[in-house]
Structure 1
Amino acid sequence: MLKRREMLARSATVAGLMASAGLWPALARADWNQPAFEAKSVAEAIKAIGGSPPTESKDVTITGPDIAENGAVVPIGAATALPGVKRVLILIEKNPSVLAAAFDVSDAVEANFSTRVKMAQSSNVYAVAMMADGKVLFAQKEIKVTLGGCGG
């Protein structure tokens, strides 16, 4: 039976090994783009990530409910089958933080993502595909929220 001090010592050793191997969860935020997550508009968020002004495209799709009864858990999907996609973003126009999600894509990954987001109020939601050639393409969908999920 392990005593409390032995367990703490072993836990500290394991944590140290994880940190030195690059497996510590807090280190996963190395690619954190604070200005993008603090952006207050769709254009600001795209600019902070390094994108050009976006163009609407039928090759980018966004899925989600027409009406979300609870803004705390709104299922959203963003996808494109276009070659050369480098990043897929989910942006929520009227949220306190416009950038809800960012997914880096390589040729080995299909650009088809689903997640759940918080929505403060009814808003346009954007799926944005940032391409290798510098183009930024988007699709949008209005989602009505009956019960807000985050403060604003």
Structure 2
Amino acid sequence: MEFTRRETLALGAGAALMTVLPFRANAAVDDVINEFTGGAAVADSGVDLTAPEIAENGNTVPVAVSAEGASAILLLAAGNPTPGVAKFTFGPLAGSHSASTRIRLAGTQDVIAIAQLADGTFARASKTVKVTIGGCGG
């Protein structure tokens, strides 16, 4: 198989992009958090995040999150190509301020939950999940 000069340059640029991608993912997580919080300070308590320590398959990882008095909870997977997983919103008549779902993880990474509380403050919890088989094409 022969490559033209243009194809070779495109392959090289693609390889260079793949080495920079993990750094952009972390920057994207910070951007998503700042967009959600408006740059406000985030406390390290007030959110309960339940996720397995080890997930044998990254395609279906069970996650549960709750925060008493939350009006919204943002769920992020820091190592995924698109870190935003879900945003749960709760109205004033919500019976509980909790949610559970199954998420897809590309590999071992932090799962992060940010809660916006009714008083306008923000709280955070995170947990590292070790994935043995990636779920995002990895």
Shift of 1:50: 4.6
SS in 1 for 2:79: coil
Code of the aligned partner of 2:111: V
Q: Which of 1 and 2 has higher RCO (CA within 8 Å, sep 6+)?
A: 2
Q: Quote the residue 1:89 is aligned against.
A: 74
Shift of 1:61: 0.6
What does 1:3-152 correspond to in 2, within 5 Å?
A: 41-51=28-38, 52-57=40-45, 59-81=46-68, 83=69, 85-109=70-94, 110-151=96-137
Shift of 1:40: 5.1
In 2, the alpha carbon distance for the partners of 1:55 and 1:101 equals: 20
Code of the aligned partner of 1:47: N
TM, length-normalised to structure 2: 0.73
Structure 2 residues without counterparts, runs of 5 or longer? 1-24
Shift of 1:121: 0.8
Shift of 1:86: 1.5
Tell me the matched-pair count: 112
In 2, the alpha carbon distance for the partners of 1:104 and 1:62 equals: 16
In 2, the alpha carbon distance for the partners of 1:69 and 1:115 equals: 17
In 2, the alpha carbon distance for the partners of 1:134 and 1:96 equals: 29
Shift of 1:135: 1.5
Shift of 1:111: 1.1
Tell me which structure has the larger Cα radius of gyration.
1
Preserved contact between residue 26 and residue 78 of structure 2 (Cα < 8 Å):
no
Q: Quote the residue 1:33 is aligned against.
A: none
Preserved contact between residue 44 and residue 124 of structure 2 (Cα < 8 Å):
yes
Fraction of identical pairs, as percent: 36
In 2, the alpha carbon distance for the partners of 1:39 and 1:105 equals: 28
Preserved contact between residue 77 and residue 113 of structure 1 (Cα < 8 Å):
yes
SS in 2 for 1:41: helix
Preserved contact between residue 40 and residue 97 of structure 1 (Cα < 8 Å):
no
SS in 2 for 1:90: strand
CA-based RMSD of the aligned residues comes to 2.0
- Residue deviations 1:113-139, cap 9 Å, x none? 000100001011112111233321111
- Residue deviations 1:48-70, cap 9 Å, x none? 2354242211x211001110011
SS in 2 for 1:124: strand
